[in-house]
Amino acid sequence: MLPDLHVKINSDAKLDVHSLLVSQDLMNKLDLTEKQAITLQFGQSRFVMNVAVDSLLPSDNLNINPAIIAKTGTQRNMPYAIIKNKQIVRIGPYIGIAANLKPDRLKPFGMQTYFIRQLIEQAQAMGAVCFAFSMKDIDIIKAQVRGLTCHNNVWVKALYPLPDVIYPRCNSEFNRYSVRQSLQKLGVRYFNPPGIGKWGTYKTLVQNPRLVQYLPDTRLINSFSDLNEMLNKYHHVYMKPITGSQGKNIIKVSQSGRPKSYEYHYQIKQRQISEKAGSLQELERKLRSFMGQKRYLAQQQIDLLRKDGCIMDLRVMTQKNRNGKWVVTGNAFRIGNVGSITSNISGGGNVGNMQELLNLYFDKTQVREIMNDVEFLALETARTLETRLGPTGELGIDIGVDRNGKIWLIEANLKPARKIFSLMKDNETRLLSVRRPIEYSIYLAGF
């Protein structure tokens, strides 16, 4: 259940900074008494107030001094959720979206602008205060954030208190980590934790006996002899940087013949690179310039289903709902470009309906079993990672289906995009995937 009591907050210069003027009806609903001293809370900002009543004030109105209003980021005639716990009356909750700010008045958050605007609109419809900000806009000493919100398709700057919940969508890992602990000490909750990388993810999941059968053999590459051992065993191996996303910097390596020779493939932007090496030493020499200083792991290649010769796998969006429970919001097959070694949409791939594509390869009974297994694997993966990561609101789970109908866990992403739903023209599921982070944030905030 979402908060069912909402109020409009008005500026009243006649009131002193410690006076809260409410209607008789609102006073009764909140179980307040006239002249009662209460704490009025906006995000992490708290103000001691004395309750006053005005019988002529509309029932859903609440008046405070403009000096207080200026610190809260609240807007005139906007309904906000309100709850009371003992002597504390809370407005909101306040949800801050940490994002990368761009010098563009119409698209201040670049490619994420539309997504962030939708988040804000969903939050406003539920009575929450929602704004986006960059990490440099936080003033921890003053417990304030200078953020942007959207009204009538116009981006508006305002000063806000520290929020109840932060939804991290920024790419600046260093900045996000550096302030996380300080903000948590001040009472701020995080929607998602920091990531632990692909190797940390694998080590966590392999400890769950229910998941072991779904995990491709994976090894951390400390030297190219580790890669050689994997190639001797599987002949085809994927090398993946332990940090990173969107299929970037992935290398496929194949071994064949006697004496051994190697072929490798990778992608720069949307250009496919394929080359050969006559020895392990030559392979290492050629790949080191591409790998740079990144640490890599090696993973056995899965013989995934293909459509028209193009590799494909499933992206499953798992999210927490309003009650803090893991659910599957939606899924779709991602289909790579011709010749691509990955299926990532960012690499120019396409999408397809899960059941419709599975029907091309398997009978109805097997399709039903695969779909049930996919849901189990996605939810069990989310629950397992949460035990290591801490409270988590959403994960994009990548699952492969091989030619025999066996499913494999490929990856888990803490900042999943919604593009698969847009490409599927599934606006209903896309909107649900936007609404659920707000609902879970409201749950996290205790509203």
Same domain, residue pair 411 and 349: yes
Domain stop point among 300, 335, 363: 300
Q: Containing domain of residue 295, as a range?
A: 217-300
Closest C-alpha among 205, 262, 208 to residue 231: 262
441 inside domain: no
Domain stop point among 241, 276, 300: 300
Could you give phi then psi for residue 249, rounded to 5 degrees?
65, 20
Count of residues making up the chain: 447
CATH number of the domain within which 124 lies: 3.40.50.20
> Which single residue is written with the structure tokens 């909107």?
431
Instruction: Say how many domains are in the chain.
Output: 4
Same domain, residue pair 88 and 104: no
Domain stop point among 26, 60, 92: 92
195 inside domain: no
CATH number of the domain within which 74 lies: 2.40.40.20
447 inside domain: no
Distances (CA, A) of 307 to 15, 246, 351: 68, 20, 11
Q: What angle do CA 192, 247, 238 make, to 5 degrees?
A: 115
3-state secondary structure at position 286? helix
Same domain, residue pair 77 and 116: no
Same domain, residue pair 86 and 103: no
354 inside domain: yes
Q: In this structure, what token pair is assigned to residue 409?
A: 């866990």
**DSSP letter string over 210-237?**
TTGGGSPPEEE-SSHHHHHHHHHHHSEE
Q: In this structure, what token pair is assigned to residue 325?
A: 């429970």
Closest C-alpha among 73, 56, 93 to residue 9: 73
198 inside domain: no
Q: What angle do CA 399, 404, 406 make, to 5 degrees?
A: 35
Sign of CA dihedral 380, 381, 387, 391: negative
Q: Where are the alpha helices (DSSP H) in 47-172?
A: 66-69, 113-125
Q: Where does residue 213 rank: exposed (0-12), middle (13-18), buried (19+ CB within 10 A)?
A: exposed
Angle between helices 197-205 and 364-389 (to 10 degrees): 110
Could you give phi then psi for residue 59, rounded to 5 degrees?
-60, -30
CATH number of the domain within which 382 lies: 3.30.470.20
Same domain, residue pair 391 and 296: no
Digitized pLDDT (tens) for each residue of the chain, 447 residues in all: 556 899 999 999 999 999 999 999 999 999 999 999 999 999 999 999 999 999 899 999 999 999 999 999 999 889 999 999 999 999 999 999 999 999 998 999 999 999 999 999 999 999 999 999 998 899 999 999 999 999 888 999 999 999 999 999 987 654 566 778 889 999 999 999 988 999 999 999 999 999 999 999 999 999 999 999 999 999 999 999 998 777 688 999 999 887 789 999 998 877 888 999 999 999 999 999 889 889 999 999 999 999 999 999 999 999 999 999 999 999 999 998 888 888 877 667 799 999 999 999 999 999 999 999 999 999 999 999 999 999 999 999 999 999 999 999 999 999 998 999 999 999 999 999 999 999 999 999 999
Distances (CA, A) of 216 to 138, 335, 388: 42, 20, 20
CB 231, CB 255: distance < 8 Å: yes
Q: Where does residue 427 rank: exposed (0-12), middle (13-18), buried (19+ CB within 10 A)?
A: exposed
